[in-house]
């Protein structure tokens, strides 16, 4: 089948992803300046339209593979708009909110132009492209209008526009999404490459923040544990992504599992980014004193988001494993381990959140002890994964 043909992320897509990653980096720097609940919520409010604009471009690319001159020029405009958005992120809910809204509206308008082109040249997809063009045009128009109204009405229009944007494929093109399902190989690779870039950004934030730090033994250990957690999160995610959710959509019309897999990446990417900021603050803190409440919560909340999202991804992967692959007892055992790993991640995520609540009530843990607990929790997930993939334990030289 055409959908199972080998296909990889293009250089142009990588270029676009890197520019969007600059926006994520800017968002992480904003969060670094204000790790309060308000600062975190502001970070999330700006992060969601950023990741949704990236998702829109990604889904167009995975459905309609093209590389002509017009497409390249439109992608160049998308890159320019993304760079403009990166500039507007600082104080994106304040004086720069107009420019943030304008950049988002421009990015969606360019995507509409792409779909209108496809409508003309791909008759079989005309119903899908027409629906998307109308829905995304309405959403872009609402964002354009928000430029001319004051706050807080501007942000209300943002929410309405984003609801139309997300609701268009979910509500008005649900069955068409099955007919024109994403590419089985290309989409997971695209999500994987962007995810690893975001994870790298979180480490970059740590490196930049501690470069001039006066090192002590506890701070060195805290930094090492933070990197260990990042490695564990990488391990868990990339040993789970296999495209099975997209196969389930194409072959069995399991829309719910596919949509869950797609949207759980939102909290995952938010968690990865916030985790980098929290580790930076943990390492830079006074290692002989407990962390301030806001910094403890950021570390616990970001780790909670990461583990919860990874647990859901593991669950969707286990639920969509092809029956053909379960012909042996060992295959059944691996499937059972997938479920166990998913439950472990979700339970561990809840435990981390509970730990954050307990610490708030006065139980004191030094920074190195707190991040050490997080590292042990994540390492436990890696150990479970080694049971599922025993070949990781042995040399293949």
pLDDT tens track for 190-249:
999 999 999 988 887 667 666 666 778 888 888 889 999 999 999 989 888 877 888 878
Confidence of residue 18 (pLDDT cuts 50, 70, 90): very high
Reduce the DSSP state of residue 355 to 3 states and report it.
helix
Reduce the DSSP state of residue 352 to 3 states and report it.
helix
Q: Tokens at residue 81, please?
A: 């708009």
Query: 152 preceded by cis ω (within 30°)?
Result: yes
Q: Give the per-residue pLDDT at 332.
A: 63
Count how many Cα atoms sit within 13 Å of the Cα of residue 63 in the half-sphere of its side chain. Answer: 24
Task: Say if residue 124's pLDDT is above 90.
Answer: no
In angstroms, the CA 325 to CA 285 distance is 49
* Average pLDDT of the residues in 75-101: 94
Q: Give the per-residue pLDDT at 2.
A: 46
Classify burial at 234, counting beta carbons within 10 Å of its beta carbon; exposed 0-12, middle 13-18, buried 19 or more: middle
Cβ 157 vs Cβ 149: under 8 Å: yes
Task: Say if residue 5's pLDDT is above 80.
Answer: no
Q: What is the pTM of this model?
A: 0.91
- Identify which has the larger pLDDT, 288 or 57: 57
Classify burial at 95, counting beta carbons within 10 Å of its beta carbon; exposed 0-12, middle 13-18, buried 19 or more: exposed
* Residues contacting 138, CB < 8 A, separation 6+: 164
Q: Give the per-residue pLDDT at 355.
A: 86
Q: Give the per-residue pLDDT at 184.
A: 80
Domain ranges of the chain: 1-180, 183-397
Q: Give the per-residue pLDDT at 395.
A: 55
Q: Give the per-residue pLDDT at 79.
A: 95
* Average pLDDT of the residues in 320-333: 57
Q: Give the per-residue pLDDT at 103.
A: 96
In angstroms, the CA 387 to CA 384 distance is 5
Q: Give the per-residue pLDDT at 212.
A: 60
Q: How far is CA 321 from CA 11, 188, 385, in A?
A: 31, 15, 16
pLDDT tens track for 38-64:
999 999 999 999 999 999 999 998 888
In angstroms, the CA 108 to CA 238 distance is 30
Task: Say if residue 179's pLDDT is above 90.
Answer: no
Q: Tokens at residue 201, please?
A: 């950004």
Cβ 354 vs Cβ 314: under 8 Å: no
How many angstroms from the chain centroid is the CA of residue 361?
31
Classify burial at 297, counting beta carbons within 10 Å of its beta carbon; exposed 0-12, middle 13-18, buried 19 or more: buried
* Average pLDDT of the residues in 285-306: 89
What is the overall mean pLDDT for the chain? 86
Cβ 26 vs Cβ 90: under 8 Å: yes
Q: Give the per-residue pLDDT at 388.
A: 66
pLDDT tens track for 327-365:
555 556 667 777 888 899 999 999 999 888 887 655 678
- Identify which has the larger pLDDT, 92 or 322: 92
Q: Tokens at residue 223, please?
A: 């930094």
Confidence of residue 1 (pLDDT cuts 50, 70, 90): very low
Q: Give the per-residue pLDDT at 26.
A: 94
Q: Give the per-residue pLDDT at 165.
A: 94
Q: Give the per-residue pLDDT at 389.
A: 64
In angstroms, the CA 105 to CA 288 distance is 48
φ/ψ region of 91 (left if φ > 0, alpha if ψ in -120 to 50, else beta) reads: left
Cβ 82 vs Cβ 104: under 8 Å: no
Q: Give the per-residue pLDDT at 361.
A: 55
In angstroms, the CA 252 to CA 246 distance is 10
- Identify which has the larger pLDDT, 358 or 269: 269
């Amino acid at each position: 089948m055409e959908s199972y043909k080998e296909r990889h992320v293009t250089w142009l897509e990588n270029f676009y992803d890197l520019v969007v990653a600059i926006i994520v980096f800017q968002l992480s720097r904003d969060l670094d300046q204000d790790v309060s609940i308000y600062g975190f919520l502001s970070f999330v409010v700006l992060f969601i339209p950023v990741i949704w604009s990236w998702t829109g471009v990604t889904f167009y690319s995975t459905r309609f593979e093209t590389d002509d001159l017009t497409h390249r020029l439109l992608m160049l405009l998308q890159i320019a708009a993304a760079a403009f958005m990166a500039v507007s992120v600082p104080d994106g809910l304040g004086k720069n909110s107009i420019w943030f809204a304008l950049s988002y509206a421009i990015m969606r308008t360019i995507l509409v132009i792409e779909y209108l082109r496809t409508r003309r040249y791909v008759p079989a997809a005309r119903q899908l492209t027409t629906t998307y063009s109308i829905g995304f045009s309405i959403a872009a128009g609402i964002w354009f209008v928000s430029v001319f109204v004051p706050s807080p009405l501007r942000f209300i229009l943002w929410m309405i526009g984003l609801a139309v944007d997300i609701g268009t494929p979910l509500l008005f093109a649900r069955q068409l999404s099955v007919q024109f399902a994403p590419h089985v190989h290309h989409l997971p690779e695209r999500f994987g490459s962007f995810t690893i870039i975001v994870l790298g950004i979180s480490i970059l934030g740590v490196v930049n923040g501690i470069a001039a730090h006066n090192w002590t033994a506890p701070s060195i250990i805290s930094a090492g544990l933070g990197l260990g957690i990042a490695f564990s999160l990488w391990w868990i995610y990339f040993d789970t992504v296999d495209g099975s959710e997209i196969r389930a959509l194409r072959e069995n019309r399991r829309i719910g599992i596919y949509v869950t897999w797609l949207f759980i990446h939102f909290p995952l990417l938010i968690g990865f980014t916030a985790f980098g900021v929290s580790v930076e603050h943990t390492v830079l803190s006074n290692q002989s004193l407990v962390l301030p409440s806001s910094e403890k919560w950021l570390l616990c909340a970001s780790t909670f988001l990461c583990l919860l999202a990874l647990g859901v991804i593991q669950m969707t992967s286990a639920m969509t494993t092809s029956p053909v692959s379960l012909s042996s007892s060992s295959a059944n055992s691996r499937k059972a381990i997938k479920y166990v790993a998913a439950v472990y991640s979700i339970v561990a995520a809840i435990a981390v959140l509970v730990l954050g609540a307990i610490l708030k009530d006065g139980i004191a843990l030094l920074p190195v002890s707190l991040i050490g607990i997080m590292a042990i929790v994540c390492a436990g997930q890696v150990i479970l994964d080694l049971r599922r993939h025993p070949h990781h334990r042995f040399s293949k030289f």
